[in-house]
Structure 1
Amino acid sequence: MLKSRILGISIMAALLLSACNRNNGGSALNYDYYVNAAVGNDYLNDGSQDNPFKTITHALGIANGDMNISIKVNPGTYDVVNGETFPIEVPTGVSLIGDEENRGNGSETTMIRGGGEYPTYDANYISTTMYMREGSKISGFILEDNSTVASFHMPFVLKYDDDITIHRNTIINGDHAIYFAGSDFDVITDNNITKNRNGISVIASTPNTRIENNIITHNRGTGVYTEVNGVDFGGGAAGSAGGNIFSCNSGNDLMSYISFSGLVFAENNMWDHTPPTETITNESGGIDVYNMHDVSTIEISGYTLAPSPCN
């Protein structure tokens, strides 16, 4: 028992010493931890590049949100089998970085696969993969919620915290890939959002969130669904340049369920048709813009044809 306690104290001391040695001398620490599913060890290693942790869960638990830390993750599958606990919470100010160049889909994939219970307003539960805190960032992963803990699967739920960056990921097989329920001042850029039921769903006002240069294609339902005005997919108050590809989504590329007047900004994007087809009835599906209640104005000027359009 004594040896076990001494070993535990020694490991914690080593971790604290490692953190202190990386201090840049300022009031906040600014350094990297490393994770490698194949060769890492959460119990014996200090998270350095030569001695990485095994799980993202452990690395994020060590990280302090006030320290401006980056967690750099090697290719591999990060799931329950690897020892991950879901949903994975990215603390305030922490960046989780995988294979940014390939959006996680390189010759060896960098995948976070799994989900855990997340409470909803009516005391029921959904499943989500990631829980992002204020000022956090995730980039360079394939994300898939394949859990069985709830009937709805949402790789990202953005609700209570603002200033979140989701950049250059591949997000697949969710009921809603990114679900906005109250977060704002976020940046959603350069992601491949595909093979979900719905791509991006917005049910609470997020006028200061910039959504640009995403590939939102081949989702089984709607590419983008919104219940609120002011969303900036291009040309709005948040400064989005557009550049999103809305294409080949089985239901509609963009669906507005807004029942009061206002504006949805979706300028300078790529669609299946030029000009984009619009409807208020959705009789056949495969429409670029479905404005269900026909009271909100959807700004789509600057449209161009998608690289591989579906007609």
Structure 2
Amino acid sequence: MLDDDGRSTGAFPGSGGRRPVVVGLGPGAADGDALVWAAAEAAVRQVPLRIVHVVPHRFVLDPCGVLLSVDGLPGVTAAAAEVVEAALARVRSVASELSLSGCVLAGAPVPLLLSESREAGLLVLGGRSRHPAGRVWARVAARACCPVVVVRDRPRVPAGPSRPSVVVGVEATGSCAPALGFAFAAATQRGVPVTAVHAWGADVPADLEGACGAPAVAEAEAREVLERALAPLRRRFPDVPVHRRVPCTDPAAAVVAASSGAALVVVGSRRLGPLRRRLARSVSREVVLRAPAPVAVVGADRVEYRVPPAPGARRQVLRRTRARPGG
């Protein structure tokens, strides 16, 4: 948000409408990292917190071979309700002023969480690092109607000597603009710097003669891409320190390497169709599954986080197509 002088106030663009932070709990996640993270985020944004526990459909065969749903069995619903009640009690003990609500939903996790995202300002997902959970995270993050933050439960490790920062992956196209806006707003909110990461790769031979550009030229172009992407954010958030990283490596590996000790990692996501999602490599999914920090996935269509370039800014067309750290 902007003040009267046109500078950022640090508030999230979507927080003024009181859209809640929604946290989806996994099994046994009433005391998990995602719940604590979501409660702190809702308190800072001064918005309600909604706790959702999704119980997948389960079916059994009776002795006569009839297919019966067990969603309504007392044991299943009671266990799910206990998880929600424990989560609500924990949040009340540390943030009694928060407006809280909780519910148990039965059905397929992905459609139910996508439905929750339609009315949410932020969707937080958590749980243990297991392969089924990773599939749910990736599918929800790729299609949600709001930014999605994945906070995995991790072993406690001693804090490192480096100061936390908000790490954001920057790509060569304009689709990362909402992710950049979200990252700078989050850094302002937390009072930490931004670490902007843009990976590049060496040129490959363009013809049979084996001629290719010098690595120094490719690196210089990568730095220019990064500066051009950061320029409108630097004007909007002049008080946020920015650290730049331009490594020659894979985009996902570059963001993961920079995320150690980060307060938050932010990556963009392009809205691809089902076929293209299967064929294209998703850097955001790799970062979600590998980064040792909470990861926010911000869709390229989240215009409320986009910071427009300055009037009259020159648009440039890149000569080469590179792997993009989003998607």
The question of a shared fold, defined as TM-score above 0.5 by the shorter chain, is answered with no
Larger RCO (CA under 8 A, 6+ residues apart): 2
Please state which structure has a larger fraction of its residues in helix: 2
Q: TM-score normalized by structure 1? A: 0.29
Please state which structure has a larger fraction of its residues in strand: 1
Q: TM-score normalized by structure 2? A: 0.29
